[in-house]
Structure 1
Amino acid sequence: PRLAGEVAAARRIVRASRPHVVHAHSAKAGLAGRIAVRGRVPTVFQPHAWSFEAVGGRTAELALGWERFGARWADHVLCVSESERRTGQEAGIAARWSVIHNGIDLDRFRPGGDGDRAEARASLPLLDGVGRDAPLVVCVGRLTRQKGQDVLLRAWRRMPDAGARLVLVGDGPDRDGLEESAPPGVLFTGSCADVRPWIRAADLLVLPSRWEGMALAPLEAMACGRPVVMTDVNGARESLPPGHEDHCLVPPEDPAALAAALTALLTDPELREALSRRALRHTRASFDVRRTAEAVAGLYQELVGMSGPTTRKHTER
């Protein structure tokens, strides 16, 4: 019943606005939008990580069935990484695919200059009492199962430096449970409108996600000149500069590997600095949000120039 109501609401919006293109996002809204339009308007669907990766068992089978069903009403399925596209294709989703990498605002996310780490730490009251030279790891993300902070807390118990601090930046439904299970040295910011001071205060950023399309937080950290450690999920390898994989990627759900990667970087400042420099150059060259916007606009222009239903014959590439 809720889906039917959302389909009806989407249909009313489309009738009132008469769009040239409908761009439907994520599993639930994306399905409602596609059912509402059903090919009458050129349609782009963007999964933002696949819904069937988020669940298991029968629920995953149902989610995959909906994704396969809904693909018939998308002129393009737009993925934010090649690995996200490959996951969908290998799962049997027949679509005309486009891949446009995520981008970030490079005017906002940039190094703060000499002394930016110390300046950022001094500006954050939560760090009062934390030594200015204490190793600091930051995880930016909604506190949910997807982002894997529970795995990170298990990894943090293995860290050898008792003076190191881990800051979980963000809020979400898992916060109470995470706070209850957090070992010493872990801080929680709650909801945070501007994550840049936390990124600049950090020695490195970690994101132990269970699934992604292409996560933004690591791109933002690298654009600020900070190295990252993240799980080897969709989009992660495509985010990193070539050669960073051995230092910066770990398997999902592996606290021991995560702790080892964090320890290796925290105890080697020269390696951190080298990774930071390459990551900064790579991110600024490859992940400008203006380039992303131009590519999406180009896709819209392509669709406006062709009739929506005729693209359905291009089922897969």
Structure 2
Amino acid sequence: MHQPAPDPRPRVLHITQPVDGGVARVVTDLARAQLAAGLHVTVACPDGPLAAAARSAGADVRHWHATRSPGPTLVREVRRLARVIEDVRPDLVHAHSAKAGLAGRLAVRGRTPTVFQPHAWSFEAVGGITSSLALRWEQRGARWAHRVVCVSEAERATGVRAGIDGRWSVVPNGIEPARFRPAAVDTVRAALLPGVPPAAPLVACVGRLCRQKGQDVLLEAWPSVVRRVPGARLVLVGDGPQRDELRTRAPESVLFAGAVGDVVPWYQAADLVVLPSRWEGMALAPLEAMACGRPVVLTDVDGARESLPPDLPPHCLVPPGDPERLAGAMTELLLDPPLRESLGHQGRRHVLSTHDVRHTAEAVADVYRELLGGALAAHAVPTEYRESIHS
């Protein structure tokens, strides 16, 4: 009986949980670039938006049932993942975020070249004994990662200060310039928000409705903005565990868009985009907003300064958890249209030059080559893929 020839392509296995938001977009972008470079790409993840996107891009998708946070099901999740790894037989494992990083490294234990990408440190997301346990794991688990890829130098520095002895690479996040681009505010807004007056100042916050993203701080700051900018509207784009709590606190000037299939029109419709996070590695939302030509206000967490152009006015970056400073920054920008326009142009130029997703894919490919050597020597992000991003 004739046996098919073995697949000579290097095999990369991405493991991830969560399956939505920025992590899902990063994994999808990497999978698309790596497939274009001729790699065999598998994505192991729970059901959700990522599975559909990865499958559409041409990746082999394996179902991995796993909860978002560690818990009593962890042992079963690691066993399930070990079976996937045994079946896929990857040349390299790339684990994304804390949960997949935990399960993936426990399943592999360094036997296969392993890349861990935290996408923000787990020990910053929790407090008390849970934070101590998460930190202890990251310190011990670093031995089973051949490379720790951070999305910002600040994220790497946080890991070093925490005593994590990693073999580090810093690969900033990137966006697709062909997808995130400016558009006429009036046209887009009329389609999205027909009941909102066209001249009403509009602030958008795009992100999962959860403690990390700080929408509760934003709602605390918002009444002060409306007092100084009458008629202003705030739209929260996304869904998450704090949705109901935030709705009960929100005044009529706050709109909830919910989870949307395409966030681009919401950036394009906004006069200002704000992300008041409590912690990040390097958030995608500000990069996407700037690519759409919109000014941003961010909290000064890991990755924020590195995502912004140099020499911005001070009210573009405020301390986390400070509603008064956040309100002041939003107000100043809403009252100064020429400054907003200038910052929008400056931000777009910066993102196109330093945060193009092609740069991200090429930098990750360089990490893979260092770990796999000759197995990847002939595989690079092809010119056709690079050009297709801009087509």
TM-score (norm 2): 0.76
Amino acid corresponding to residue 152 of structure 1 in structure 2: L
Is the CA contact 1:51–1:63 (under 8 Å) kept in the aligned structure 2? yes
Deviations 1:124-153 (A, max 9, x none): 1xx223211110000000101110000000
Q: Distance in 2 between matches of 1:212 and 1:58?
A: 21
Number of the residue aligned with 1:150: 216
Match status 1:293 vs 2:364: no
Find the counterpart in structure 1 of residue 95 from structure 2. Answer: 24
Cα distance in 2 for partners of 1:21, 1:27 equals: 18
Residue 229 of structure 2 contacts residue 334 of structure 2 at CA under 8 Å; is this kept in 1? Answer: no
- Residue 78 of structure 1 deviates from its aligned partner by 0.5
Letter in 2 for 1:47: P
Q: What is the DSSP-based 3-state SS (H/G/I as helix, E as strand, rest coil) of the residue aligned with 1:89?
A: helix
User: Does 1 or 2 have the higher relative contact order (CA < 8 Å, sep 6+)?
Assistant: 1
Question: CA offsets per residue over residues 183-227 of structure 1, 9 Å max, x none?
Answer: 231000111111111111100100000000000000000000000
Q: Which residue of the partner structure matches residue 119 of structure 1? A: 187
Q: 1:141 to 1:81 in 2, by over 3 A?
A: same
Q: Secondary structure at the match of 1:162?
A: coil
The 8 Å contact of residues 117 and 200 in structure 1, kept in 2 or not, is answered as: yes
User: Quick check: 1:210–1:233 contact (8 Å CA) kept in 2?
Assistant: yes
Q: What does residue 185 of structure 1 align with?
A: 253
1:49 match: secondary structure: coil
CA distance in 1, matches of 2:322, 2:275: 13
Q: Is the 8 A contact 2:200 2:231 kept in 1?
A: yes
Secondary structure of the corresponding residue to residue 205 of structure 1 = strand
* Residues 254-312 of structure 1: CA deviation (Å, up to 9, x unaligned): 000000000000000111111111111001111111110111111111101299xxxxx
- Which whole-Å CA distance do the structure 2 matches of 1:5 and 1:69 have between them? 21
Partner of 1:33: 104
**C-alpha separation in 2, matches of 1:5 and 1:223:** 42
Amino acid at match of 2:102: L
Question: CA–CA distance in 1 between the matches of 2:343 and 2:281?
Answer: 23
The alignment yields a C-alpha RMSD, in angstroms, of 1.2
Deviation at 1:44, TM superposition (A): 0.4
Aligned to 1:315: none
CA distance in 2: counterparts of 1:12 and 1:245, whole angstroms: 52
Match in the other structure for 2:27 = none
Contact persistence 1:77–1:98 (CA under 8 A):
yes
Say which is worse superposed, 78-87 or 16-25, in terms of deviation: 16-25
**Correspondence for 2:263:** 195
- Map 1:163-312 onto structure 2 (within 5 A): 163-244=231-312, 246-305=314-373
Paired position in structure 2 for 1:134 = 200
2:200 maps to amino acid? A
2:176 corresponds to which residue?
Answer: 105
Matched, 1:2 2:67: no
Q: Does 1:11 align with 2:82?
A: yes
1:229 aligned counterpart, secondary structure: strand
Structure 2 SS opposite 1:166: strand
**Shift, 1:245, TM fit:** 5.3
1:99 aligned partner, one-letter code: V
| 1:57 partner amino acid | G
Q: Which runs of 5+ in 2 are unaligned?
A: 1-71, 376-391
Counterpart contact for 1:237–1:245, Cα < 8 Å = no
1:156 aligned partner, one-letter code: W
Give the share of equivalent positions with the same residue, in percent. 66
CA distance in 2, matches of 1:204, 1:47: 29
TM superposition shift of 1:247: 2.7
1:312 is aligned to none
Distance 2:324 2:293 in 1: 26
Task: Supply the AA of the counterpart residue of 2:202.
Answer: L
Moved over 2 A (4+): none
| Distance of 2:218 and 2:374 partners within structure 1 | 48
Equivalent positions of 1:14-93 (< 5 A) are 14-93=85-164
Distance in 2 separating the partners of 1:93 and 1:210:
21
Does the CA-based 8 Å contact 2:229-2:335 persist in structure 1? Answer: no
Q: Secondary structure at the match of 1:189?
A: strand
Structure 1 residue 89: Cα displacement: 0.6
Query: 1:281 is paired with a residue of what secondary structure?
Result: helix
Summarize deviations over 1:53-111 as a string: whole Å, max 9, x none.
01111111011011111111000100000000000010000010000000011110011
Match of 2:47 in 1: none
In the superposition, the TM-score normalised over structure 1's length comes to 0.93
**Partners of 1:25 and 1:219 in 2: CA distance:** 20
Distance 1:189 1:129 in 2: 13
